[in-house]
Amino acid sequence: MYAIFADGGRQYKVEEGQELELDYRDVPPGEQLTFDKVLAVSADDGLTLGQPTVAGACITAEVVGPALGDKVYVQKFTRRKNFRRRTGHRQIYTKVRIKQIAAGQGRETSSPSEIASTPAPAEA
């Protein structure tokens, strides 16, 4: 079973027990987070798509703790002036572990080909 949810302007595909890094939140380790912007849920009975979100679906995650991203170096350079600057930056993330994916009510589909053949809604 997997789910796709939106958080912080990005979409994540997750399974139960998976760990992932999200944008930093000032939340202590062990705290529970709930994500309710679930875009799709795939279970044994098929794929449930939201329009735009799956009603009643939520993802529960436990905060593992803060994490540091890779170091990114930025360099400034001016030719013939002996001017060189090198600075680094490490982004702080919040590491979470997915505990539970609760499916809700949405549009049931049985196969990916059915999703591709479904016409797009008309523009208003």
Express each pLDDT in 81-98 by its tens digit: 999 999 999 999 999 999
Q: Dump pLDDT digits (tens) for 32-65.
A: 999 999 999 998 888 889 888 999 899 999 999 9
pTM of the predicted structure, to 2 decimals: 0.76
- Say whether pLDDT at 112 is over 60: no
Q: Which residue carries 């009643």 as its tokens?
A: 56
**Angle formed at CA 46 by CA 61 and CA 118, multiple of 5 degrees:** 110
- Beta sheet of 38-43, edge-to-edge order: 10-15, 2-7, 38-43, 46-49, 107-109
DSSP string, 15-65: ETT-EEEEE-----TT-EEEE--EEEEEETTEEEE-SSS-BT-EEEEEEEE
Check residue 121 and give its pLDDT.
64
SS3 (DSSP) at 75: strand
Q: Which residue has the tokens 């016409």?
A: 119
